[in-house]
Amino acid sequence: MKKLLVTGGAGFIGANFVYYLLDNRPDVSIVCVDSLTYAGNMSTLARAMEDSRFTFYRQDIRDRAGIDAIFEAEKPDAVVNFAAETHVDRSIEDPEIFLKTNVLGVQVLMDACRAHGGIRFHQVSTDEVYGDLPLDRPDLLFTESTPLHASSPYSASKAGADLLALAYHRTYGLPVTVSRCSNNYGPYQFPEKLIPLMIANALADKSLPVYGQGLNVRDWLYVEDHCKAIDLILEKGRIGEVYNIGGHNEMRNIDIVKLICQALDKPESLITYVTDRKGHDLRYAIDPAKIHAQLGWTPETAFADGIKKTIRWYLDNRPWWEQIVSGEYKTYYERMYANR
């Protein structure tokens, strides 16, 4: 049995990855490490907690001694790092925790990998490290050799971690891979992000705050397709390499919000155009040719199907997100969107 240490498993993509492995990889056991920030939720992991192949540690990746003790006790075969501060708007408000978790936390994890015999390390990164692309050049896509040009404190912290991970490979020979994925959507996404925020607000007949004119473009990928890509990279990816992961599915924010209104039978008059995000990236678009050619990965879920499944999930799992939007998050929402 192969033992994977998965950090950030109580968050959106980490939890989907945990369930992907439990449901599809009987040869894998999982040690999950998560400090349970506002974005981590134990109710997300309820089913995993009942599985004998799953162990959970509440642990901050910035805490060297705590991380070392887990590596010593569990002796994982590989580490996949999802743990991060992930919301761009929060990084604009207060960058510090982003640098501490997203850069120094990654250093702690990789030092533990080195100290325990050179454990395989996979860094889950984002297409946001490349900065943005113009709206009027649909021919331009991010490839793995596009220069890093991060715009927000969040993306700058992720770019820092990518460089550090590749430097640990070059300098110490640590077996590292990095994946840079486009925007994910699907079950268990925290309702501060575009798609679940719009679903939750629409269901409550609250206004739908679209930044600027809603013309910014993101390349949306169903979360399970991202999980499959990471699993493939762990199995067959070339050490020291970066893999772009993307859905070939570029959409303007306004079109997504209108589609959600339509699917939930809510009026478009709920849409409110609010002050734009500072430094707002115009367009992200990934060229996934390398992972397709080398590992045979391809996005399997069409957006029309993925968004239906996602909306269905939020309708069927109201207690999961209603508990979030009524708690600490409410204060964040009021602060972030008041006078916007």
**Judged by CB under 6 A, does residue 55 bind ligand TYD?**
no
- 128 counts as catalytic: yes
**Judged by CB under 6 A, does residue 194 bind ligand TYD?**
yes
H-helix segments, the chain: 12-24, 46-49, 64-74, 88-93, 96-99, 105-115, 153-172, 194-203, 223-236, 253-263, 289-295, 303-316, 318-325, 328-337
**Judged by CB under 6 A, does residue 13 bind ligand TYD?**
no
H-helix segments, 204-327: 223-236, 253-263, 289-295, 303-316, 318-325
**Judged by CB under 6 A, does residue 90 bind ligand TYD?**
no
Q: Which stretch binds ligand TYD (CB under 6 A): 31-39, 116-124, 207-215, 219-227?
A: 207-215
Amino acid at site 219: D
**Judged by CB under 6 A, does residue 61 bind ligand NAD?**
yes
Gap between the Cα atoms of 158 and 84, Å rounded: 9
Q: Is 76 helix (H, G, I), strand (E, B) or coil?
A: coil
Q: Judged by CB, which is closer to ligand TYD: 219, or 231?
A: 219
**The Cα angle at residue 233 between residues 227 and 235, in degrees rounded to 5:** 105
**Judged by CB under 6 A, does residue 216 bind ligand TYD?**
yes
- 60 counts as catalytic: no
CB 134 within 8 A of CB 32: no
How far apart are CB 198 and ligand TYD at their closest, in Å?
7
Q: Which of 28, 45, 57, 60 binds ligand NAD (CB under 6 A)?
A: 60
Q: Judged by CB, which is closer to ligand TYD: 29, or 184?
A: 184
Choose the contact partner of 36 out of ligand TYD, ligand NAD, none; CB within 5 to 8 A by kind: ligand NAD
Residues 92-151 that bind ligand NAD (CB under 6 A): 101, 105, 124, 126
From residue 26 to residue 45, what is the string marking binding to ligand NAD with x (rule CB under 6 A)? --------xxxx-xx-----
Q: Which of 14, 186, 196, 237 binds ligand NAD (CB under 6 A)?
A: 14
Task: Name the residue among 182, 118, 128, 119 with its Cα closest to residue 158.
Answer: 128
Which of these is catalytic: 34, 128, 162, 225?
Answer: 128
Gap between the Cα atoms of 300 and 306, Å rounded: 10
- 334 counts as catalytic: no
Gap between the Cα atoms of 334 and 162, Å rounded: 34
**Judged by CB under 6 A, does residue 228 bind ligand TYD?**
no
314 burial class (0-12, 13-18, 19+ CB within 10 angstroms)? buried
Catalytic residues: 127-128, 154
Residues within the interface to ligand NAD (CB under 6 A): 7-8, 10-14, 34-37, 39-40, 60-62, 82-86, 101, 105, 124, 126, 158, 181, 183-184, 190
The site for ligand TYD (CB under 6 A) is made up of: 88, 183, 193-194, 197, 209-211, 216, 218, 253, 277
